[in-house]
């Protein structure tokens, strides 16, 4: 589904110099390009959402470990110097949940949040508990600051990571359990699952014990078996990038 364009940097997409200005603008509006890093939780969310919506997109690899996102050429596209960045419908969108919201507003099937207001609020609360309360404390920038300016050893950084993830997942388990079904809410994937699966992937990478969270483990297992989630998995994306 994706076509990684460039490893360790980024490219601007298809060449349209042979087209008229009007035709080039029309083609640009039809293109969908994700500036991506295979292991980024935020990018992982957007890949899942794009797959659920059935959207074919070009993937442009932005190597965060090499600092490509900090270069002037990338900051010209996103002043925050962060991924994901999605170019779609002639627009440049940032922030994973804002991107998911845009996709849901412009391509409503299948819905990523339920229509009933209380159900919608519940799903958003689950998603935000991950994206706003767990993930920001443990992303690459924070871990890098702990390592660099603060001089914390690997053992301390890992303890930091596990502490905040365990605290966040415990709260999420309690919030989700009463209304969970096959997925984190009811029986179809929602924005809550889009946020859950990347967080569980990273929790396992850092050896966070997950037995205390049976609802989360069950929902994660159900979601990761879904084709849209499976195709977005970091191992799949990394393998495709290396093939190019």
**Long-range contacts at 175-180 (CB < 8 A, ≥ 24 apart):** 175/125, 175/126, 175/129, 176/126, 176/215, 176/216, 176/219, 177/215, 179/122, 180/215, 180/218, 180/219
Which pTM was predicted? 0.87
pLDDT of 244: 63
pLDDT in tens, 84-122: 999 999 999 999 999 999 999 999 999 999 999 999 999
Pick the CATH number of 21-110+230-243 from 3.40.47.10, 3.40.30.10, 2.60.40.1120, 3.40.640.10: 3.40.30.10
Domain ranges of the chain: 21-110+230-243, 117-226
Q: How far apart are CA 229 and CA 240, in angstroms?
A: 16
The residue-averaged pLDDT of 145-159 equals: 96
């Amino acid at each position: 589904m994706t076509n990684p364009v460039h490893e360790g940097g980024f490219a601007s997409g298809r060449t349209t110099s042979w087209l008229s200005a009007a035709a080039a603008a029309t083609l640009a509006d039809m293109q969908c390009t994700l500036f991506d890093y295979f292991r980024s939780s935020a990018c992982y969310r957007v890949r899942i959402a794009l797959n659920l919506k059935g959207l074919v997109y070009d993937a442009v690899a932005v190597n965060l470990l090499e600092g490509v996102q900090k270069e002037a050429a990338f900051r010209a596209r996103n002043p925050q110097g962060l991924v994901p960045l999605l170019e779609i419908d002639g627009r440049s969108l940032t922030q994973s949940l804002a991107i998911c919201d845009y996709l849901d507003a412009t391509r409503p099937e299948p819905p990523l949040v339920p229509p009933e207001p209380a159900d919608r609020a519940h799903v958003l609360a689950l998603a935000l508990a991950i994206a706003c309360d767990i993930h920001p404390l443990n992303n690459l920038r924070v871990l890098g600051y702990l390592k660099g300016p603060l001089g914390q050893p690997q053992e301390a950084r890992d303890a930091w990571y596990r502490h905040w993830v365990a605290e966040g997942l415990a709260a999420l388990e309690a919030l989700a359990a009463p209304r969970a079904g096959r997925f984190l809410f009811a029986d179809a994937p929602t924005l809550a699952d889009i946020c859950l699966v990347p967080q569980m992937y990273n929790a396992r990478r850092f050896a966070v014990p997950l037995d205390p969270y049976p609802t989360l483990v069950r929902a994660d297992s159900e979601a990761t078996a879904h084709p849209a989630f499976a195709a977005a998995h970091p191992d799949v994306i990394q393998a495709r990038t290396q093939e190019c």
